[in-house]
Amino acid sequence: MVFINCIMQVHGLKDRTQDLRKSLNDSLEGDIRDFLINEAELHTYDDLTKVNPVTPSTVLKCLQARYSAKVFYTHAGCTLVALNPFQPIPHLYSLDVMREYHTAPQPQEFKPHIFIVAEEAYRNVQGQVEPINQSLVVSGESGAGKTWTSRCLMKYYATVATSSQKCQDTVEKIERRVLDSNPVMEAFGNACTLRNSNSSRFGKYIQLQLNGSQLLVGASVQTYLLEKTRVAFQAPTERNFHIFYQMMKGATEKQRLEWMLPSEQDFAWLPHAEKTLEEDCLRETVEAMINLGIDERKRTQILAGLLQLGNVYFSPASEEAQPCDLDGHSKGLICFSADLLQVPLDELQSCLTVRTLLAGKQSVLKPCSQSECGVRRDCLAKVIYAQLFDWLVTFINNSMCADSSMWCNFIGLLDVYGFECFLLNNLEQLCINYANEKLQQHFVAHYLKAQQEEYVTEGLQWSFIRYQDNQGCLDLIEGSPSSIFSLLNEECRLNRVSDAKQFRVRLQKELSDNTSISWDKLSKEPHFTVAHYAGNVSYQIEGMMEKNKDPVPPEIISVLQKSQDSLLHSLFADGDRESEGSRGHSKVVTVVSKFKNSLESLMKILHSTTPHYTRCIKPNPDCRPLTFKKEEVIAQLEACGIVETINISALYMFCAVFLSFCVPPRQAWMDALAEAELDDAEDFMENEASSVLPKLDPLLKERGSVQLSSIQEPVLVRGWPIGLAMASAPSVTVSLTATGFQRIMSMMACLKSPFRHGGYKVKTNQFDQGVASIRAQPRGSIKMHLQRSPLLYADMHPVHKTDVVTGFNQILLERT
- Rounding to the nearest 10 degrees, give the CA dihedral for residues 336, 342, 345, 351: -110
Provide the residue type at 516 as one letter: S
Q: Is 638 annotated as a binding residue?
A: no
Residues counted in the chain? 816
Q: Is 147 annotated as a binding residue?
A: yes
Q: Which band of pLDDT confidence, cut at 50, 70 and 90, is reported for residue 324?
A: very high
Residue 161's pLDDT is 85
Asked if residue 660 has pLDDT above 70, the reply is no
Question: Is the four-CA dihedral 558, 560, 561, 563 of positive or negative sign?
Answer: positive
Provide the residue type at 665 as one letter: P
Instruction: Give 722-758 pLDDT, tens digit per residue.
Output: 444 444 343 333 344 444 444 444 444 444 333 333 3
Q: Which band of pLDDT confidence, cut at 50, 70 and 90, is reported for residue 464?
A: low
3-state secondary structure of 363: strand
Kindly give, in sequence order, each residue whose CB lies less than 8 Å from that of residue 134, ignoring residues fewer than 6 positions away. Answer: 121, 122, 124, 125, 410, 411, 412, 609, 610, 611, 612
CA distance 323 to 352: 9
CA distance 573 to 562: 9
Provide the residue type at 34 as one letter: D
User: ∠224-225-230 over CA atoms, to 5°?
Assistant: 140
- Tell me how many helices (H) and strands (E) the chain has: 29, 21
3-state secondary structure of 335: helix
Q: Which of 583-587, 603-607, 611-615, 659-663 has the lowest mean pLDDT?
A: 659-663
Q: Is 145 annotated as a binding residue?
A: yes
CA 129 → CA 275, 607, 719, distances in Å?
50, 15, 16
Provide the residue type at 490 as one letter: E
Kindly give, in sequence order, each residue whose CB lies less than 8 Å from that of residue 268, ignoring residues fewer than 6 positions away. Answer: 310, 311
| Region class of 543: left (phi > 0), else alpha (psi between -120 and 50), else beta | left
Residue 422's pLDDT is 86
Instruction: Give 521-532 pLDDT, tens digit per residue.
Output: 888 899 999 999
Asked if residue 68 has pLDDT above 90, the reply is yes
3-state secondary structure of 734: strand
Q: Is the pTM of this model over 0.85?
A: no
Q: Is 328 annotated as a binding residue?
A: no
The count of C-alpha atoms lying within 13 angstroms of the C-alpha of 364, restricted to the half-sphere facing its C-beta, is: 8
Residue in 615, 635, 630 with CA at minimum distance from that of residue 145? 615
Instruction: Give 618-659 pLDDT, tens digit per residue.
Output: 999 988 999 999 999 998 888 777 877 777 666 555 554 444
Q: Is 140 annotated as a binding residue?
A: yes
CA distance 679 to 624: 67
Please check whether residue 756 is in contact with residue 105, taking contact to mean a CB–CB distance below 8 angstroms: yes
Residue 29's pLDDT is 79
Question: Is the four-CA dihedral 191, 197, 202, 205 of positive or negative sign?
Answer: positive
Asked if residue 690 has pLDDT above 70, the reply is no
Please check whether residue 186 is in contact with residue 240, taking contact to mean a CB–CB distance below 8 angstroms: no
CA 111 → CA 46, 322, 792, distances in Å?
7, 71, 20
Catalytic residues: 142-143, 147, 196, 199-200, 418, 420
Answer with the residue of higher pLDDT: 533 or 136. Answer: 136
Q: Which band of pLDDT confidence, cut at 50, 70 and 90, is reported for residue 54?
A: confident
Q: How far is residue 170 CA from its own chain's centroid?
A: 30
Residue 680's pLDDT is 55
CA 776 → CA 303, 343, 691, 728, distances in Å?
74, 82, 17, 12
Answer with the residue of higher pLDDT: 257 or 778. Answer: 257
Answer with the residue of higher pLDDT: 348 or 54. Answer: 348
567-601: burial string, b at 16+ Cβ within 10 Å, e else? ebeebbeebeebbbeeeeeeebebbbbebbebbee
Q: Which of 72-86, 157-171, 414-428, 523-537 has the lowest mean pLDDT?
A: 157-171
Kindly give, in sequence order, each residue whose CB lies less than 8 Å from that of residue 119, ignoring residues fewer than 6 positions away. Answer: 101, 102, 104, 107, 160
CB atoms within 10 A of CB 340: 23
Q: How far is residue 395 CA from its own chain's centroid?
A: 24
Residue 455's pLDDT is 65
Instruction: Give 411-449 pLDDT, tens digit per residue.
Output: 999 988 888 888 889 999 999 999 999 998 888 877 766
Please check whether residue 682 is in contact with residue 775, taking contact to mean a CB–CB distance below 8 angstroms: yes
Strand partners, 783: 707, 735
Phi, psi dihedrals of residue 406, rounded to the nearest 5°: -95, -15
Asked if residue 25 has pLDDT above 50, the reply is yes
3-state secondary structure of 364: strand
Please check whether residue 551 is in contact with residue 355, taking contact to mean a CB–CB distance below 8 angstroms: no
770-780: burial string, b at 16+ Cβ within 10 Å, e else? bbbbeebebee
Average pLDDT of the chain? Answer: 78
Residue in 663, 805, 648 with CA at minimum distance from that of residue 741? 648
CA distance 78 to 792: 10
Residue 329's pLDDT is 87
Asked if residue 14 has pLDDT above 80, the reply is no
- In the chain, the percentage of residues whose pLDDT exceeds 70 is 71
Q: Is 142 annotated as a binding residue?
A: yes
Q: Which of 91-100, 427-436, 687-696, 770-779 has the lowest mean pLDDT?
A: 770-779
Q: Which band of pLDDT confidence, cut at 50, 70 and 90, is reported for residue 239?
A: very high
Instruction: Give 137-150 pLDDT, tens digit per residue.
Output: 998 888 899 989 99
Asked if residue 6 has pLDDT above 90, the reply is no
Q: Is 575 annotated as a binding residue?
A: no
Answer with the residue of higher pLDDT: 360 or 218. Answer: 218
CA distance 590 to 488: 9
Q: What is the DSSP letter of 418?
A: P
Instruction: Give 338-356 pLDDT, tens digit per residue.
Output: 999 999 999 999 999 999 8
The count of C-alpha atoms lying within 13 angstroms of the C-alpha of 401, restricted to the half-sphere facing its C-beta, is: 13
Instruction: Give 213-225 pLDDT, tens digit per residue.
Output: 898 999 999 999 9
Q: Is 584 annotated as a binding residue?
A: no
31-42: burial string, b at 16+ Cβ within 10 Å, e else? ebeebeeeeeeb
Residue 739's pLDDT is 44
Q: Which band of pLDDT confidence, cut at 50, 70 and 90, is reported for residue 813?
A: very low
Asked if residue 20 has pLDDT above 80, the reply is no
Residue 803's pLDDT is 41
Residue in 428, 376, 184 with CA at minimum distance from that of residue 366? 376
User: ∠595-601-606 over CA atoms, to 5°?
Assistant: 120
